[in-house]
């Protein structure tokens, strides 16, 4: 029996890249739906802006694939499918309710947190592998995900304050 080939950090990096490439494409679709579903103008704008950023993030991932001399390819990511499914539940179950946007913001933050863990690992591995250009590209996206997460926190707190005032 042939010995199973030893997996390397490079394999891990490539698999991770495919995972997040798959995830970003799903996120793009989800953001479109969320922008449509959201009640407040603030939420709509936030989702639309991150949609535009996500398009650029997909482009950056394609550049990283190019650095590896590989065709961009996705690999099924069950985590993002589950996170998005939860967001869709919120859209359905809270449609027309005053708690809808709070739910959507929290769902969006779950997405950002997943992305932050993935890009954080990929950036560290790219560094380890001496892929300077990839580190730069991954770091740009990581910064955007962190910035988006912070914005969502601010929005959630703002809405909570508004509700408290209204009560």
Q: Which two tokens stand for residue 31?
A: 């953001």
Q: Which of 154, 127, 156 is nearest to 139 (CA)?
A: 127
Q: Does the footprint of Fe ion cover residue 17 (CB under 5 A)?
A: no
Q: How many CB atoms lie within 10 A of CB 7?
A: 9
Measured between its terminal Cα atoms, the distance across the chain in Å is 71
Q: Which of residues 54-93 bind Fe ion (CB under 5 A)?
A: 54, 57, 77, 79
Distance (Å, whole) CA 55 – CA 28? 7
> Among all chains, which residue has been given the structure tokens 């010995």?
3
In the complex with Fe ion, the residue whose CB is nearer, 124 or 163, is 124
Which among 3-11, 33-41, 49-57, 129-137 is the span making contact with Fe ion, rule CB under 5 A? Answer: 49-57
Q: Please, which of residues 132-151 interact with Fe ion by CB under 5 A? A: 145
Min. distance of Cβ 31 from Fe ion in angstroms?
Answer: 8
Site string for Fe ion, 92-131 (x = CB under 5 A): --------------------x--x----------------
Q: Give me the residue label for tokens 């939860």.
A: 86
Q: Which residues are near Fe ion by CB under 5 A?
A: 19, 54, 57, 77, 79, 112, 115, 145
């Amino acid at each position: 029996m042939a010995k199973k080939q030893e997996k390397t950090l490079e394999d891990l990096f490539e698999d991770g890249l495919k995972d997040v490439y798959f995830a970003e494409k799903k996120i793009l679709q989800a953001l479109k739906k969320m922008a449509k579903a959201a009640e407040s103008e603030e939420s709509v704008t936030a989702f639309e802006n991150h949609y535009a950023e996500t398009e650029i993030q997909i482009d950056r991932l394609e550049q990283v694939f190019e650095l590896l001399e590989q065709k961009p390819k996705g690999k099924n990511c069950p985590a993002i499918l589950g996170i998005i499914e939860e967001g869709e539940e919120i859209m359905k179950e809270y449609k027309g309710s005053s708690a809808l946007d709070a739910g959507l913001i929290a769902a969006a933050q779950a997405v950002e947190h997943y992305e932050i863990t993935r890009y954080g690992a990929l950036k560290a591995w790219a560094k380890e592998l001496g892929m300077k250009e990839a580190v730069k590209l991954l770091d740009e996206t990581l910064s955007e995900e962190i910035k988006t997460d912070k914005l969502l926190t601010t929005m959630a707190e703002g809405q909570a304050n508004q509700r408290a005032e209204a009560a």
